[in-house]
Structure 1
Amino acid sequence: MVAVKPFRALRPDKKIVHKVAELPYDTMNTEEALKIAKNNEFSYLRIDRAEIELPPDTDIHSAKVYEKARENLEKFIKKGVFIQDEEPHLYIYRETMGSREQIGIVGCVSVDDSLNGIIKKHEHTKPDKVQDRINHIRYCGANTGTILLTYDKNDTIDKIVELKLKEAPEYDFISNDKIRHTVWMLNEKETDMVENAFKTVKNLYIADGHHRSKAAQEYALEKRKENPNFDGTEEFNFYLAMIAPKENLYVMDYNRVVEDLNGLDAKTFINYIEENFEIFKEKTPYKPSNKYNYGMYLDGDWYRLRFKNTDKLDNPKARLDVSVLHDFLIEPILGINQPQKDNRIDFIGGIRGVEEIQKRVDGGMRVGFSLYPTSIEELMKIADMDDVMPAKSTWFEPKVRCGLFLHML
């Protein structure tokens, strides 16, 4: 049984919501955030990446950054940029990217569901990144980012959503990246119906936001220690999420670039690859359209690699395209055994296109790889096994915008 809870959202005044909402903090670096927020006093990045208002040499994990985030949040509230709903609600959030729609329920989910495995994970988290978001929650007194969760579709929820979409929305705007964002507020009866419908859902799965989810969980455990008489209804026992059925989600490729060939020359490197992959020369940048095919950009040329030993793949995790690339090339040939910790490798979200691989390699990296996307079914299967996928296996688009909803603690 999944617990989904309505909440009194702190959210932007509808007149300026298009200026407030921004991409998640972890999709950009400080320089990019500074450029995005320039000349926009209402940008949520002034809270989510508050270092952009501090001197360039500021440690982004210093107390000054979190203090500035809190200061800016308080300023936004005082100026009426953010207004808190008087009553708790659930919301419908639709993102339209071209012909695709991602539609989900926005509400709060239970920390206990994370602890007991009802909300399933598929990635490891890095302690420093988790601590960063814990600090952000602690200083701001709020869940400041919306996690994307998914589940097997539910007819009752689908019908409520279908009817609600015919009504006038609360928000409706187009962001700079041409994605349309539309929000509806559910009334009390609709909220109760959705809340009850989720009680029949067996599991939720984290699609995007493992570090924010883990941070909310750890913060709640801290608060429980500070408040040994907690009864479970306190707001810190819940965190903010958008919950979308798996059919709505679009998973893109998550590509790789590596800065060297592990001491090998290009010819020897290719010879090693040929032990497990067929290699074909391509005339243009190659984006795989089938499993177990990979693009490789090396020395100004594009290649297609096709894995030829699928009989060696004996479990669902091993059969992931990203696992094959790491298990049979990146780890044994390039010597990168812990990609989440190795500075020799970097990752490029599929939204940037395979041309970004070429740009990065031409700009100093040594070799790049394009991958076929992991499917949402593969993700859920790994999570159901209580296993984790390799680092940076999935890139979801469109990204849930931050600053549309805050959950005050």
Structure 2
Amino acid sequence: MATVRPFKAFRPTRDKVHLVASRSYISYSRKGLMSKLDENPFTFLHILNPEYNKRKTTKANSEARFLKVREKFREFITHQIIVQDEKDSFYIYRQIKNGHAYLGIIGCASVEDYHNKVIKKHEATIAKRENMFKNYLKSTQINAEPVCFTYPNNETIDQITQQKIIERPEYDFTTTNKDRHSFWVIDNPKEVQLIAEAFKEVDSIYIADGHHRSASSALMGEELKSKNPNHTGDELYNFFMGVFIPEQELQIFEFNRLITEIGDLTTAQFLKKIQKEFEVIYVDKEMFVPRKVHEIGMYIDNKWYCLIPKEGKIKASDPVENLDVSILTNHLLAPILGITDLRTDNRVYFKGGLAGVEALKHDVDSGKARAAFAHFPVTMDQLKKIADADCIMPPKSTWIEPKLRSGLTVFSTDENDR
């Protein structure tokens, strides 16, 4: 039984939403970030970079810096760039990208659900990052970028959202990358209650994107709970913001692998070693895209091959070992090339599936990479089996869409904002 709560969002005024909402902070290059800050005084990036163009600055990731973020957020409220809703609400968010519509509900997930594993994860997190972001959340008291969750379809929620999106949206704007963003407010108490009750029928919610944000929110909740002798469980620090997207709306793309060398092996020797573990089929095409699970494309020396694991190489009973990214590592990268830790070995790098196999071919043809491997995307069923088994995927296994914007809605954990 999942707990998903409405909240009173801080959000941009209608005339400024297209200027305020920004891509995730980490997606900008240094040059791109400076350009946005120079050109747009309303971008949420100013809140995240509160000392831009200041002579004296605080230390990065320090409490002093985080408090500056808090001050800048309050400054945006004072200037009525961002205002708070008066009623507890759920919010419908739709993003249309490359012809695909993603539709979800923005609300608050429960820290308790994270701890009791109603909320399920599939990625490992790094303790240092967890603690840094926990301190950020504690000092700023804001969630500005929702965790992306997915859940099995629910008829009640589907009916409410489909009825609502017929109405005029509160926001409707297109960004420079041609993605369209639409947004509706659900503040009718009856509809709000129906949605909250419908989520109670959902047994499990899966983190699609935002494992560190989830872990850090849970850490903060536990810390503040331990310091509060009057803890009830209803305090705002017990919740964190998420967008809840039904399984059929979410898209999982592949994360492809490229290697910069094959050691002292010739291409012929490399292929011969691979043939001990895989059926190696030459593909007489300019491009090859795997069509199903357990098909791996390999591009080397201007040729595409389809690699299919030989019988006995697939461990169907193990949801992690059954992944194609695991099969590639365990039966090719590690035994043939000695690449065992994909996070630290500089002989391997990754490209998200949105780049396409054309990007793999380009890197190999240009000499940047020696060979490239194209995967079929991890399926939703595979992701859920791993999360249900409380297992962890290898790094860079999935590229999840949609990517969400910061500052479209902000959840405050300050009790004065309740």
State TM-score, norm by structure 1. 0.90
Q: Which amino acid aligns with 1:296?
A: M
On the 8 A contact 1:374/1:393 being kept in 2, the answer is: yes
Q: Distance in 2 between matches of 1:363 and 1:312?
A: 31
On the 8 A contact 2:145/2:404 being kept in 1, the answer is: no
Q: Secondary structure at the match of 2:321?
A: coil
CA displacement at 1:220 relative to structure 2: 1.1
CA displacement at 1:59 relative to structure 2: 7.8
RMSD across aligned C-alpha pairs, in angstroms? Answer: 2.6
Task: Report the counterpart of residue 219 of structure 2 in structure 1.
Answer: 218
Deviations 1:326-357 (A, max 9, x none): 22122222323232344443322222233333
Q: Does structure 1 residue 126 correspond to structure 2 residue 126?
A: yes
Q: Secondary structure at the match of 1:333?
A: helix
Equivalent of residue 293 in structure 2, options 281, 291, 306 = 291
Q: Secondary structure at the match of 2:337?
A: coil
On the 8 A contact 1:51/1:60 being kept in 2, the answer is: no
CA displacement at 1:239 relative to structure 2: 0.4
Q: Aligned ranges for residues 267-286 of structure 1 at < 5 Å?
A: 267-277=268-278, 278-280=280-282, 283-286=285-288
Q: Aligned ranges for residues 398-409 of structure 1 at < 5 Å?
A: 398-409=402-413
Q: Aligned ranges for residues 61-140 of structure 1 at < 5 Å?
A: 61=61, 66-140=66-140
Q: Distance in 1 between matches of 2:41 and 2:154?
A: 41
On the 8 A contact 1:94/1:182 being kept in 2, the answer is: yes
User: How many residues were matched structurally?
Assistant: 407
Task: Report the counterpart of residue 305 of structure 2 in structure 1.
Answer: 304
Q: Secondary structure at the match of 1:172?
A: strand
Deviations 1:260-307 (A, max 9, x none): 3355454433332222230425553433222222333445x2422322
Task: Report the counterpart of residue 178 of structure 1 in structure 2.
Answer: 178
Flag the 1:125–1:50 CA change in 2: closer, same or farther, 3 A: farther
Flag the 1:83–1:240 CA change in 2: closer, same or farther, 3 A: same
On the 8 A contact 1:262/1:335 being kept in 2, the answer is: no
On the 8 A contact 2:61/2:136 being kept in 1, the answer is: no
Q: Distance in 2 between matches of 1:305 and 1:45?
A: 44
Q: Which amino acid aligns with 1:336?
A: I
Flag the 1:297–1:306 CA change in 2: closer, same or farther, 3 A: closer
Question: Greater shift after overlay, 341-350 or 215-224?
Answer: 341-350
Q: Aligned ranges for residues 6-405 of structure 1 at < 5 Å?
A: 6-35=6-35, 37-48=37-48, 61=61, 66-186=66-186, 187-262=188-263, 264-277=265-278, 278-280=280-282, 283-299=285-301, 301-314=302-315, 315=317, 316-361=319-364, 362=366, 364-405=368-409
On the 8 A contact 2:277/2:313 being kept in 1, the answer is: no
Q: Secondary structure at the match of 1:217?
A: helix
Flag the 1:313–1:201 CA change in 2: closer, same or farther, 3 A: same
Flag the 1:349–1:66 CA change in 2: closer, same or farther, 3 A: farther
On the 8 A contact 2:260/2:371 being kept in 1, the answer is: yes
Q: Distance in 2 between matches of 1:29 and 1:335?
A: 32
Q: Distance in 2 between matches of 1:370 and 1:33?
A: 31
Deviations 1:92-126 (A, max 9, x none): 11111233211111100100000000001111112
Query: Unmatched 5+ residue regions in structure 2?
Result: 414-418
Q: Which amino acid aligns with 2:231?
A: F
Deviations 1:228-276 (A, max 9, x none): 3211111110000001110111111112233433554544333322222
Flag the 1:364–1:408 CA change in 2: closer, same or farther, 3 A: same
Flag the 1:58–1:180 CA change in 2: closer, same or farther, 3 A: same
On the 8 A contact 1:46/1:53 being kept in 2, the answer is: no
On the 8 A contact 1:286/1:302 being kept in 2, the answer is: no
Q: Which amino acid aligns with 2:355?
A: R
Flag the 1:312–1:67 CA change in 2: closer, same or farther, 3 A: same
Q: Secondary structure at the match of 1:248?
A: coil
Flag the 1:311–1:28 CA change in 2: closer, same or farther, 3 A: farther
Task: Report the counterpart of residue 416 of structure 2 in structure 1.
Answer: none
CA displacement at 1:62 relative to structure 2: 5.3
Q: Distance in 1 between matches of 2:369 and 2:229?
A: 52
CA displacement at 1:165 relative to structure 2: 1.1
State TM-score, norm by structure 2. 0.88
Flag the 1:325–1:34 CA change in 2: closer, same or farther, 3 A: farther
Q: Secondary structure at the match of 2:258?
A: strand
Q: Distance in 2 between matches of 1:142 and 1:230?
A: 20
On the 8 A contact 1:262/1:333 being kept in 2, the answer is: no
Q: Distance in 2 between matches of 1:251 and 1:161?
A: 22
On the 8 A contact 1:122/1:382 being kept in 2, the answer is: yes
Deviations 1:183-204 (A, max 9, x none): 1111221111100111111110
Flag the 1:406–1:263 CA change in 2: closer, same or farther, 3 A: farther
CA displacement at 1:30 relative to structure 2: 3.9
Question: Greater shift after overlay, 258-267 or 384-393?
Answer: 258-267
Q: Distance in 2 between matches of 1:312 and 1:230?
A: 52
Flag the 1:206–1:54 CA change in 2: closer, same or farther, 3 A: farther
Flag the 1:146–1:261 CA change in 2: closer, same or farther, 3 A: same
On the 8 A contact 2:63/2:136 being kept in 1, the answer is: no
Q: Distance in 1 between matches of 2:382 and 2:356?
A: 22
Larger gyration radius, structure 1 or structure 2 = 2
